[in-house]
């Protein structure tokens, strides 16, 4: 398991757990299945976990509660598996810090693409890949976002007092994209293309959810953003010093 990404599939339906376990194992992943929150916690306690495929609609402790737990206690990647009518819960899950979502019924190939995409953005996965390739660590590069500092090499965000602020893999990708395109107006579609390198529904507004989350962390006044500004009708722009 040490040399393979470890995925935990959390779903209360045995048929879905078995299908995903078999398919992902065939793709080379180490897979553990969990029927609910208690099983998930046992899997995490048993050893390193890289990614959780998490069903939203489960009896007892639901997917939103477990997303909150995962974000507060771990840096594990989270992909929500949602039913067609769970748009509001999906947005709430993204606000809580989920990395991605996929609606049911899903195509297994699309799910695999999303799993690989999230894993590529996970800091621990990137570090493991560099170590396996024998790469030497690059000098740290830092970008200032308001009162915060983004460590590009370590994929970490620090507050003014030096404490680390929790960010998801997708939030890091967005900050890195803004850092590479300062003072450029980027549309939602362009941001999603640059940050996540995959096709998205043009009506997908999840980018707005992530921008809102980032502003709460980096802006002095999130209600009046000066670092990541909204360009009405167009998109967003990163202003490094708060001055256009």
Q: Extract the tokens encoding 117.
A: 């995409």
- Give ∠ CA 138-173-53 in degrees, rounded to 5: 110
> Is 244 part of any domain?
no
Residues 15 and 128 in one domain: yes
Residues 128 and 205 in one domain: no
Residues 125 and 16 in one domain: yes
Residues 146 and 192 in one domain: yes
> Is 54 part of any domain?
yes
**pLDDT given at position 204:** 54
> Is 176 part of any domain?
yes
Instruction: Please state whether beta strands 77-82 and 100-103 pair in parallel, antiparallel, or not at all (unpaired).
Output: parallel
> Is 243 part of any domain?
no
Residues 127 and 172 in one domain: no
Residues 94 and 211 in one domain: no
Give the domain-ending residue among 82, 103, 132.
132
Give the domain-ending residue among 97, 132, 167.
132
Residues 208 and 179 in one domain: yes
> Is 137 part of any domain?
no
> Is 202 part of any domain?
yes
Angstrom distances, CA of residue 46 to CA of 8, 40, 41, 204, 226: 12, 10, 9, 37, 44
Residues 16 and 113 in one domain: yes
**pLDDT given at position 86:** 67
Residues 19 and 120 in one domain: yes
**Residue 2's pLDDT band (cuts 50, 70, 90):** very low
Mean pLDDT over 18-40 rounds to 94
Most trustworthy range by pLDDT among 19-23, 88-92, 104-108, 180-184: 19-23
- For residues 240 and 182, the answer to whether their CB atoms sit within 8 Å is yes
Crossing angle between the packed helical segments 108-121 and 14-26, to the nearest 10 degrees: 70
**Residue 24's pLDDT band (cuts 50, 70, 90):** very high
Can you give the CATH number for the domain in which 67 is found?
A: 3.40.50.2300
Residues 94 and 197 in one domain: no
For the chain, the domain total comes to 2
Which has more pLDDT, 168 or 69? 69
> Is 64 part of any domain?
yes
Give the domain-ending residue among 73, 107, 132.
132
- Give ∠ CA 13-16-19 in degrees, rounded to 5: 150
Is the pLDDT at 202 greater than 70? The verdict is no
Mean pLDDT over 224-239 rounds to 91
- CA-nearest of 36, 79, 41 to 58 is 36
Residues 208 and 226 in one domain: yes
**Residue 139's pLDDT band (cuts 50, 70, 90):** very low
Who's near 242: CB < 8 A, 6+ residues apart?
Answer: 146, 226, 227
Can you give the CATH number for the domain in which 193 is found?
A: 1.10.10.10
> Is 25 part of any domain?
yes
Q: Which domain holds residue 73?
A: 6-132
- The span from the CA of 227 to the CA of 106, in Å, is 37
Residues 128 and 23 in one domain: yes
pTM for the model stands at: 0.62
């Amino acid at each position: 398991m040490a040399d393979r990404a470890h995925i935990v599939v959390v779903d209360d339906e045995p048929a879905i757990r078995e299908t995903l376990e078999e398919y992902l194992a065939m793709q080379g992943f180490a897979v553990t299945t969990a029927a609910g929150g208690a099983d998930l916690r046992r899997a995490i306690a048993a050893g390193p976990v890289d990614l959780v495929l998490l069903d939203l609609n489960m009896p007892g402790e639901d997917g939103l509660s477990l997303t909150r737990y995962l974000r507060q206690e771990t840096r594990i990647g989270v992909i929500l598996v949602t039913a067609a009518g769970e748009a509001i819960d999906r947005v709430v899950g993204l606000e809580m810090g989920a990395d991605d979502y996929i609606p049911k019924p899903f195509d297994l190939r699309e799910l695999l693409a999303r799993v690989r995409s999230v894993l590529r953005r996970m800091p621990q996965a990137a570090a493991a890949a560099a170590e396996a390739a024998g790469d030497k660590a690059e000098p740290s590069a830092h970008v200032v976002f308001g009162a915060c500092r983004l460590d590009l090499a370590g994929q970490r965000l620090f507050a003014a007092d030096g404490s680390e602020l929790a960010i998801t893999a997708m939030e890091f990708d967005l900050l890195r994209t803004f850092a590479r395109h300062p003072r450029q107006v980027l549309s939602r579609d362009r941001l999603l293309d640059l940050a996540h390198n995959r096709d998205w529904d043009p009506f997908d507004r999840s980018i707005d959810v992530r921008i809102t989350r980032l502003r709460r962390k980096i802006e002095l006044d999130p209600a009046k953003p000066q670092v990541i500004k909204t360009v009405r009708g167009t998109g967003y722009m990163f202003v490094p010093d708060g001055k256009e």
